[in-house]
Amino acid sequence: MTFDYDLFVIGAGPGGLAAAKKAASYGVRVAVAEQEAIGGTCVNRGCVPKKLIVYAADFARENQIAHSYGWSKCKRYFDWTLFMKSVHRHLEHIHHSYCQQLQNTGIELIKEHAAFSNVHTLDVGGHKVTADKILIAVGGRPNKPSIPGIEYAITSREVFHLPYLPKRLAIIGGGYIGAEFSSMMHALGCEVTVIETDEMMLSGFDDEIRSGVQRGLSKRGIRVLTNSTAREITLLDDGLLLKTTGDFAETIAADTILVATGYVPNTKNLGLEKAQVELGKQGEIKVDEYCCTNQKNIFAVGDCINRVQLTPVAKAEGIAVANTVFGNQPQKVNYDYVPSAVFSRPEGASVGLTETKAREKFGASVKCYCTNFPTLLSQLTEQDEPVVIKLVVNEDSQQVLGAHMLGEDAAEIIQTLGVAIRQGITKQQLHETIGIHPTTAEELLSID
């Protein structure tokens, strides 16, 4: 049978784009369908615009401590509308760059919704298209709890399109999205309350990072209501009311309520049943170690397979699929030692095993080394900005199993350390490495 394309990709997010470009490098015919803006969640309503808000918020903090470094005090006004115009201009530049890259590599971009008709046929904007191999890279969508009035809340999709900066912001969920937005929006002048069902924020991170971030947010004036659950939202003429139950049973007044309770696979309305693609209990697409579904010509990567919901992981999966299918290089993705970060203030980052996971796997042979010290930056100020560094080590082999950090430049430092940990570095080898002084990262090399 002759197909229209060798590879058809549904979704132009990080995973889909990476797979398309890699496949095209092998000389095959590739098309990508995307019904929304190219770049997916990361570019349009996630990593990129969020990090730009982090930078904007950092100026507020720097302004607070500038007088300690000899700068005269002055009043400043933050213009949310002006700032967001700049953000969206930058996103448009990224969109143009991506489109240019696809054009230069001969990849066809189809700005339509795609759904399966059968295992080799897709309905793309009302037209039938056939492909030998099909890759599903449709990402995830924000999960919203089923409570009365939830339609009055926004998600991370809408927060970048707020017409004004709310004075009072309530955030349902204390994961990395909740932590980051609480930190950013508070620094920009919002009164922020976070509702978290667990006893600590940031489930999945090491406990040192979880407690450190939560403590830091609270010190800044952010209310964190732990062991509490959002139960009802009521719309009033002058705002919203959010009722909670649990350790903090309250009624919280807010101008905006942000739901940050994670993402679920975006697998609806794809016609997957027509291709008989098997789904898991949470709607995720079930794949094997090569990201292949139960249909041998259909693959899936990224958040829609619900393995590790991170942009670099989706890219790695997409490239691995292209290498496996078109490069004659069967490739699996190694999910061990994937670094992650929460860009709150204080910032947290981790790579490798948490202390809890390490003890589950290695038992009594696990030993943790932790240091806590103030940053040099804070020495001339009245702000207490501690850095926490924690190494999880297998004492039998001295291998570093995990590294966790709270504080200045945590993400950048953990990112580079991840290479060494992935290669099996030992604590002794860290000690034998000479650092750069004065830096925060040098403390990693002498921790005891």
CA separation for the pair 356, 366 (Å, rounded): 10
Q: Are 296 and 275 in contact (CB under 8 A)?
A: no
Name the packing angle between helices 311-326 and 14-24 (round to 10°). 30
Tokens 């230069």 locate to 104
Active-site choice (88, 90, 431, 437): 437
Phi, psi of 414, deg, nearest 5: -65, -35
Tokens 């004075």 locate to 167
- 3-class secondary-structure state, position 51: helix
Residue among 324, 280, 332 nearest 306 (CA): 280
Rg (CA), the chain: 24
- 3-class secondary-structure state, position 369: strand
Indicate the burial class of 70 (C-beta count within 10 angstroms; 0-12, 13-18, 19 or more).
exposed
Other beta carbons less than 10 A from residue 5's beta carbon:
21
Residues sharing a CB contact under 8 Å with residue 36, sequence separation 6 or more, in sequence order: 44
Distance (Å) of CA 172 to CA 33, 114, 150, 251, 402:
33, 33, 11, 13, 30
Tokens 């969206």 locate to 88
Nearest-5° Cα angle at 138, 330 to 295:
50
Active site residue 437: yes
CA separation for the pair 78, 312 (Å, rounded): 32
CA separation for the pair 49, 156 (Å, rounded): 11
Distance (Å) of CA 354 to CA 201, 211, 403, 445:
15, 14, 8, 19
Q: Are 220 and 135 in contact (CB under 8 A)?
A: no
CA separation for the pair 232, 127 (Å, rounded): 44
Number of H helices, E strands in the chain: 11, 21
Active site residues: 437
